[in-house]
Amino acid sequence: MFILAGAGIDETTNRILWIVGALLLFGAVAFFLSDFVRNRRLGPLRRGRVQRLRVADVCALGNRQFVFVIECGEERHLIGAWANGIRHLSRLPSNVEEEPFEEQLAAELKSGEEGEDEA
């Protein structure tokens, strides 16, 4: 412990001042640590955390109206949001190696032509 030299303070008062100073120091450290944790300033410490929900795309439709594509694991969902609420619009197919649009269109046109030939 320290003793305030020349101040005329006895040992009991010196101990009380030391305890009060230590409590103030611990209180200040606890306050700033809780503020740090509350505001999530732990970027490097949370990098290993798995992110379950992710906004894959957003499209603004007008006055505070948006359409979101939300990914949850392997699933994708279309969500609408506006001033009065949020609504699940549909579940989207996953990104599992889909055919390019041109190939899908050619296949549909070909199957349509075959149907006309049979009629």
Q: Is 109 helix (H, G, I), strand (E, B) or coil?
A: helix
**Domain map of the chain by residue range?**
7-49, 50-92
Give the pLDDT band of residue 19 (cuts 50, 70, 90): very high
Split at pLDDT 50, 70, 90, the class of 1 is very low
Top mean pLDDT of 59-68, 89-98, 107-116 is at: 59-68
Q: Are 75 and 91 in contact (CB under 8 A)?
A: yes
Asked if residue 84 lies in contact with residue 73, where contact means CB atoms within 8 angstroms, the answer is no
pTM of the model: 0.41
pLDDT tens track for 42-89 = 555 555 556 678 888 888 888 889 999 898 888 889 999 988 899 998
